[in-house]
C-alpha cells in the first residue's frame, strides 16, 4: 500500500492506458479522480469497479481537455473533494492520420489542445497543490512520437514532442519542492486508439491491415511485440515510488527498442 493516503488525478482514464494507470495506482491504495469521455454507464462501471476491486475512493469528473474552464473546475473539485492532489497523470490524447497538405484544420487544433495545451493547464493548477503538500509526482504520457516522427502524424508528433519538452521544463522548476516530472514514451500499445488508426494507415499507405500491424507498427520494434497497458502502468507506479525520487525530467521509453535505432 505504497500510495495509501495519496490521491491522483488522471486525465483520459476512462479507457486504455489511463484506466490501466488508475488501476495500478489504486492497487497501491491511492484514491483516484478519473477523467475522460465516454458513455456515462460505461464510465460509472469503471469507477465502481475501481472502488470495489481496490477499496479506494474513486470519483469521476468529465472535464473536456479542450476547455480551460472545465479543466479549472476539475482542479476546484480536487480541492473540495480531496484537499488537492499528490499525483497528476496527463494521459488524455487523440490521434488523426493524414498527410500535412491534406490535414484537417479542426483535427490539428484538437490534437494540440488535448495532447499538449491541456498538459500545461493541469500542470499549472496541480503545482501549487503539490508544493503545499511538499511532495508530488507529475507523469505525462508522451509517446515514441515524442522522440521521433512518422509520416502522416504531423500534429501528433508535434504535440508529443511538445509534451516531452514541457516535461523537462516542469522538472527543472519543481525539483526543489520534492516534486518530480517525467514522461512515458510508449511505442504501440494495443488500445482502441491504435486499433482505430489501422484502417486509416492501410488506406494512406495502400496496405492490408495485417501489413500495417507487421510492416508499420511492429516493424521497428526489436521485440516484435506490442507493449501492454499493464507494462506502461507499472512503469508509472515505479515513478510514483520513493525509489524514483531522483528520476526527473526523463523520457522513459517503453517501445520494444523502436527508438533505439
Ligand atoms: P484511448 O483512446 O483508449 O484513451 C484516450 C483517453 O483520452 C480516453 O479516456 C478518452 O476519453 C480521453 N479523451 C479523449 N479526448 C478527450 C478530451 N477532449 N477530454 C478529456 N479526455 C479525453 O487511447 P490510449 O491508447 O489509451 O491513449 C492514452 C494516451 O497514450 C494518449 O495520450 C496517447 O497519445 C498515448 N499513447 C498511446 C499509445 C498507443 O499505442 N496506444 C502509444 C503512445 C502513446
Nearest alpha carbon to residue 139 among 238, 236, 1: 236
139, 164 in Cβ contact below 8 A?
Answer: no
**Vertex 129 angle, CA 123 and 132, to 5°:** 135
**Region 54-61: what's the mean pLDDT?**
98
| Cα 97 to ligand 1 centroid, rounded to whole Å | 15
pLDDT band at 192 (very low <50, low <70, confident <90, very high): confident
- Report d(CA 86, CA 3) in Å as an integer: 10
**Region 64-92: what's the mean pLDDT?**
98
pLDDT in tens, 197-207: 899 889 988 99
Protein residue whose Cα sits closest to atom 23 of ligand 1: 193
3-state DSSP assignment of residue 257: coil
pLDDT for 63: 98
| Cα 15 to ligand 1 centroid, rounded to whole Å | 8
Pocket test for ligand 1, best of 11, 147, 191 (most atoms within 8 A of CB): 191
Mean pLDDT of the chain: 97
pLDDT for 61: 98
**Region 64-87: what's the mean pLDDT?**
98
pLDDT for 197: 87
CA 91 vs CA 47, 94, 114, 227, 247: distances in Å: 17, 10, 9, 16, 19
- Report d(CA 167, CA 181) in Å as an integer: 6
The model carries a pTM of 0.96
Nearest alpha carbon to residue 24 among 137, 103, 132, 192: 137
- Report d(CA 233, CA 95) in Å as an integer: 20
Q: Is 188 a catalytic residue?
A: no
pLDDT for 12: 98
- Report d(CA 261, CA 257) in Å as an integer: 7
Of 54, 156, 177, 238, the active-site residue reads: 156
- Report d(CA 15, CA 38) in Å as an integer: 9
| Cα 176 to ligand 1 centroid, rounded to whole Å | 31
pLDDT for 39: 98
Protein residue whose Cα sits closest to atom 44 of ligand 1: 143
Report percent pLDDT > 90 for the chain: 95
| Residue 146 in contact with ligand 1 by CB distance below 6 A | no
pLDDT band at 193 (very low <50, low <70, confident <90, very high): confident
Task: Write down the residue that cell numbers 514532442 correspond to.
Answer: 161
Domains along the sequence of the chain with CATH:
7-188+228-260 (3.40.50.720), 190-226 (no CATH)
For residue 32 the three cell numbers come to 483516484
Report percent pLDDT > 70 for the chain: 100
| Residue 180 in contact with ligand 1 by CB distance below 6 A | no
Number of H helices, E strands in the chain: 9, 7
Amino acid at each position: 500500500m505504497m500510495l495509501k493516503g495519496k490521491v491522483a488525478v488522471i486525465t483520459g482514464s476512462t479507457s486504455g492506458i489511463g484506466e490501466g494507470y488508475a488501476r495500478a495506482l489504486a492497487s497501491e491504495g491511492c484514491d483516484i479522480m478519473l477523467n475522460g469521455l465516454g458513455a456515462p454507464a460505461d464510465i460509472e462501471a469503471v469507477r465502481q469497479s475501481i472502488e470495489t476491486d481496490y477499496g479506494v475512493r474513486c470519483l469521476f469528473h468529465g472535464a473536456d481537455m479542450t476547455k480551460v474552464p472545465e479543466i479549472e473546475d476539475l482542479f476546484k473539485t480536487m480541492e473540495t473533494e480531496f484537499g488537492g492532489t499528490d499525483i497528476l497523470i496527463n494521459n488524455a490524447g487523440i490521434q488523426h492520420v493524414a498527410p500535412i497538405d491534406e490535414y484537417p484544420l479542426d483535427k490539428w487544433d484538437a490534437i494540440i489542445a488535448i495532447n499538449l495545451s491541456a498538459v500545461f493547464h493541469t500542470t499549472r493548477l496541480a503545482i501549487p497543490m503539490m508544493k503545499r503538500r511538499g511532495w508530488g509526482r507529475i507523469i505525462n504520457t508522451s509517446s515514441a512520437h515524442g522522440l521521433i516522427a512518422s509520416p502522416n502524424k504531423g500534429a501528433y508528433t508535434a504535440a508529443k514532442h511538445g509534451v516531452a519538452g514541457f516535461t523537462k521544463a516542469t522538472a527543472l522548476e519543481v525539483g526543489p519542492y520534492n516534486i518530480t516530472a517525467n514522461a512515458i514514451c510508449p511505442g504501440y500499445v494495443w488500445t482502441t486508439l491504435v486499433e482505430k488508426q489501422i484502417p486509416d494507415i492501410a488506406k494512406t499507405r495502400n496496405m492490408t491491415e495485417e501489413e500495417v500491424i507487421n510492416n508499420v507498427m511492429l516493424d521497428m520494434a526489436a521485440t516484435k511485440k506490442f507493449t501492454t497497458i499493464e507494462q506502461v502502468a507499472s512503469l508509472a507506479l515505479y515513478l510514483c515510488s520513493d525509489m524514483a525520487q531522483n528520476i526527473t525530467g526523463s523520457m522513459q521509453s517503453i517501445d520494444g527498442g523502436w527508438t533505439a535505432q
